[in-house]
Chain A
Amino acid sequence: MSFGKKDEDAESRGVFYDKSQVLLETRVFNETPLNPRKSRLLLGKVLTLLYTGEHLTRAEATDLFFATTKLFQNKDPGLRQIIYLLIKELADKADDVLMVTSSLTKDINAKPEELFASPNLLSSAAASFGFSFGSRTTSLSSASAALGAGAGPGAVLGTNVCHRANALRAICRIMDPSTIPAIERFLKQAIVDRTAAVSTAALVSSYHVFPVARDLVRRWVNEVQEALTSPKVTSTSPSAYLSTGYIVQYHALGLLYLIRQADRMAVAKLVQSLARTSNVRSQWAQCMLVRFAVKCCEDESASFGGKNMVSVDGSLSAAMYEYLKSLCNNNDMVMLEAARALVSMVNSTPASLTATQVQPAVTALQQLLVSPKPALKFAALRTLHQLAQVNASLVTTCNLDMEQLVSDSNRSIATFAITTLLKTGTESSVDRLMKQISSFMSEISDEFKVIIIDAIRVLAVKFPAKQAVMLSFLASVLRDEGGVLPDCLETALAHLCEFIEDCEFTKLAVRILHLLGAEGPKTRDPAKYLRYIYNRVILENSNVRAAAVTALAAFGAHVDAVRPTVRVLLTRCLDDPDDEVRDRATFNLAALDQAELRAQYLLNDTVLAVPTLQAKLAHYTAAGDFTSAVDVAAVPRIPKAELVPARRRAGSPTRGGAMNSPMLGSPAMRTMTPTLGPATPTPAAAAAGPTGASTQWLEKEPLLAPLLPTLFKSTTAVPLTDRELEYHVSVVKHVFRDWLVLEIEVVNTMPEVLLENVAVSLVPDTPIDTVMKQMAVVPIASLKAHDAQRVFVAFQRAPGAVPTVSFATKLTMTVKDCDPVTHVPDSDQGYPEEFAVEDVDITLADYMLPTTVPDFSSAWDALDEPSQVVETLQVPGIPTLAVAVAQIVDLLGMRALEGSNMVPAEKHAHTLVLGGVFLGGVPVLVRVRMVLDAGAQAVAMEVAVRAGVPEVAQVVAQALQG
Chain B
Amino acid sequence: MNLTLYTVKALILLDVSNGSRVLAKYYNTGAPSNAATSPAVATGPAPTSTEFATLKDQKTFERRLWEKTRKLLNNEIILFNNHVVVYKGMADVMLFVVGSLEENELMLSSVLNTLYEAINLVLLKYQTEKRTIIENMDLVALAIDECIDNGIVIETDPGTIASRVSKRPSELADISFNDPNSISGAMNKVRDSFFAGILLK
Contacts and interface: CB of A to CB of B under 8 A. Distances in A.
Given A40-B169, A152-B197, A234-B157, A375 B3 contact: no
B121 to A, nearest CB: 10
Contact of A375 (B72, B109, B169): B109
A866 interface: no
Interface string A61-103: 0000000000000001111111001001001111111100000
Contact of A78 (B21, B156, B166, B177): B166
A829 B143 CA distance: 114
Contact of A176 (B37, B110, B173): B37
A244 interface: yes
Interface string A134-163: 000000000010011010100110110010
A514 interface: no
B104 to A, nearest CB: 5
Contacts of A295: 1, 3
Interface stretch (A201-209, A421-429, A568-576, A854-862): A201-209
Majority SS of interface residues in chain B?
mixed
Interface string A313-345: 000000000000000000011001100100010
Nearest to A80: B166
A204 B152 contact: yes
A688 B74 CA distance: 61
B104 A97 contact: no
A445 B169 contact: no
Given A257-B3, A378-B77, A207 B131 contact: no
Contact of A92 (B18, B41, B55, B163): B41
Contact of B77 (A3, A120, A208, A375): A375
Contacts of A374: 74-77
B41 A294 contact: no
Nearest to B105: A379
Given A37-B170, A378-B105, A447 B152 contact: no
B141 A85 contact: yes
Contacts of B104: 287, 333, 336-337, 340, 379
Interface in A369-383: 373-376, 378-379, 382
Contacts of B75: 374, 409-412
Residue in B58, B169, B177 whose Cβ sees the most chain A Cβ within 10 Å: B169
Interface stretch (A11-19, A614-622, A931-939, A954-962): A11-19
A152 B164 contact: no
A705 interface: no
Contacts of B42: 92
A236 B77 CA distance: 29
A172 interface: yes
Contacts of B44: 207-211
B37 A96 contact: yes
Interface in B149-172: 149-150, 152-157, 159-160, 162-172
A152 B199 contact: yes
A176 B39 contact: yes
Contacts of B159: 148, 235-237, 241
A53 interface: yes
Contacts, number: 293
B90 interface: no
Given A235-B160, A374-B75, A204 B154 contact: yes
B26 to A, nearest CB: 10
Residue in A34, A76, A209, A378 whose Cβ sees the most chain B Cβ within 10 Å: A378
A792 interface: no
Interface in B7-29: 15, 17-18, 20-25
B23 A85 contact: no
26 contacts: A1-B135, A33-B177, A36-B173, A37-B171, A43-B138, A47-B137, A94-B34, A97-B37, A122-B196, A126-B200, A148-B163, A152-B199, A175-B38, A197-B164, A209-B44, A213-B40, A234-B155, A235-B160, A236-B163, A251-B152, A254-B5, A288-B5, A333-B104, A375-B109, A382-B105, A445-B80
Given A88-B145, A122-B197, 12 more contacts: A14-B20, A14-B22, A41-B138, A44-B139, A95-B37, A150-B200, A172-B40, A197-B164, A247-B155, A251-B5, A291-B3, A373-B109
